[in-house]
Amino acid sequence: MTITADMPQTSIIPIPREICLRAGVFRLDASVCITFAPSTGALARMLADRLKQFAGLVLAVKPTGAAEGRQIMLSIADDDARLGREGYKLEVTCERVSLSAPTEAGLFYALQSLVQLLPVQSLQGRHQTPAAGATGAMLEIANQTIVDWPRFSWRGAMLDVSRHFFNVEQIKQFLDVMALHKLNVFHWHLTDDAGWRIQIYRYPRLTEDGAWRAGVGFGLVADATTAYDQRGRYGGYYTQQQIRDVVDYARQRQITIVPEIEMPGHALAVLHVYPEYGCTDGPFDIQMFSGIAEDVFCAGNEATFELLEQVLDEVAQLFPGPYIHIGGDECPKKRWKACPKCQARITSQGLKDEDELQSYFIKRIERHLDGLGKRLIGWDEILEGGLAANATVMSWRGVEGGIEAAQMGHDVVMTPHKRCYLNFHQSQDKKFEPMAVWEDVLTLEQTYTFEPVPAELNEQQRKHVLGLQGNIWTECIADPKHLQYMMFPRLSALSEVAWSQDQRRNLADFCQRMRQMQFRLDVLDIRYRAIDTGKQM
């Protein structure tokens, strides 16, 4: 791809919708004051923290009208209908920088763009937070006007913490880099065959025993001693108080958390401690290797639904967002075919087969979520046997499931594994790459050139494509630095696909901007695959 004259140079990822560069610069130094209108004080203080972190500048923060001279001004203004809920305007002149938006969300994204306009020299070597009282050097930001709003409302990233557990501080760091890229949905894969990670008061053994296994598993040896309990078991979980803390942290960064509670498959962590909810007597072991387990929740047992509904009651109280993800993927039907209770359920409900039994299962869970004021979202297997009435489909096996769901009038999130699974190798030359799930390769170019809206959809159906999401499965990823390396630069690329207009995207230009983003990742102590050499940083 070539960079054209109508694509002005900027360092921002994702690239804004409109940029108008002008002569002159705003000189940013310690004499500049950040001023804020009512209701924007928290964002002003957050901006001050970021300027200290990325530029070594300590700036005063005052209400509007309480300062003179050069200022960075934050305000809520609803004077451009194009901006919607998440758009913003950023204007730089010689005398001031003005950040305005109709909502706090838009203003937050304006803040991210301003931070990314800081010249690279302010970032080089800044691996440590400046000492208290540091004033920093003078920096120059080119005069310009940016008008920007996102293409999609769902700009997500998923992290699997079941195979390998990541603690609260590591989750917060994940959220920080999401926010820098204007990503707004964190899909938290909390339960699976390898471990249950969320405290449920009604069923304490889910975390007392279901969150731990005999060893690291998956062919790995981990050094993270925090992943072990006093009995030498490997794993971990989040208390409900920790969950609330993370949810609030995400909210401050305009990120909605979508928890995933897997069903009817991927249930071994539950069946290990509560075997009565399976189709056989067990025993059931928590999984320590890749693969799809044949043992799943018994769909013919009324107690199974009582368990799951009571779990979801507690989950719904912890996560204020509209969605709860119920998985629904990779559910073998072998146990159901041999289970008298499941076969009796098929007969009593007039179902045709086990696929319709899965549909019955999902629809029943959806009714319960409806009663909790939540919307059900699941992987594209929930289409099998008939889709629940209000379900949203996350299309991972390709885009075909998303196309089918959108044509049926259902909302979809596109996350096809061949374009959005960040746990794959980043290069064909795998001997220089760290371990990855399976042997698939997903290059930066393949990620960046993904188009989430299939041509097969008509104009009305395209409106059902909420957006896209990058997913990270952690069978082979047991430490945060490995995780970060798999994320970047591909998550940066997906953020641009999710936010920017398709005609604004340009791979060569993105790579140039990514070289500057690498300095920001250095400041945040984030590991990445270098854009030029592929070197592990």
Catalytic residues: 192, 266, 330
Q: Which of 11, 24, 30, 20 is nearest to 139 (CA)?
A: 30
CA-to-CA distance for 522 and 520, rounded, in angstroms?
5
Max distance between CA atoms of the chain, in angstroms, equals 79
Per the listing, tokens 């972190």 go with: 53
DSSP tally for the chain: helices H, then strands E: 17, 19
CA-to-CA distance for 158 and 422, rounded, in angstroms?
10
Q: Which of 158, 176, 138 is nearest to 50 (CA)?
A: 176
CA-to-CA distance for 325 and 451, rounded, in angstroms?
24
Contacts by residues 436-441 (CB-CB < 8 Å, ≥ 24 positions apart)? 436/476, 436/486, 437/290, 437/473, 437/475, 437/476, 437/477
Phi, psi dihedral angles at 523 (to 5 degrees): -60, -40
**Token pair for 133:** 């009282």
- Strand, coil or helix: 336: helix
**Token pair for 19:** 């940029």
Round the CA-based radius of gyration of the chain to a whole number and report it: 24
CA-to-CA distance for 244 and 10, rounded, in angstroms?
37
Please give, one letter per residue, the 3-state secondary structure of 41-100.
HHHHHHHHHHHHHHHCCCCEEEECCCCCCCEEEEEECCCCHHHCCCCEEEEECCCEEEEE
Residue 8: Cβ-neighbour burial (10 angstroms; 0-12, 13-18, 19+)? middle
- Strand, coil or helix: 23: strand
**Token pair for 100:** 């305005």
Per the listing, tokens 């990514």 go with: 514
Phi, psi dihedral angles at 91 (to 5 degrees): -120, 130
Q: Which residues contact 241 (CB under 8 A, 6 or more apart)?
A: none
CB 519 within 8 A of CB 123: yes
Phi, psi dihedral angles at 471 (to 5 degrees): -115, 140
Ranges assigned E (strand) in 102-231: 139-148, 154-160, 185-189, 191-192, 195-196, 212-213
Question: 536 forms bridges with which residues in the sheet?
Answer: 529
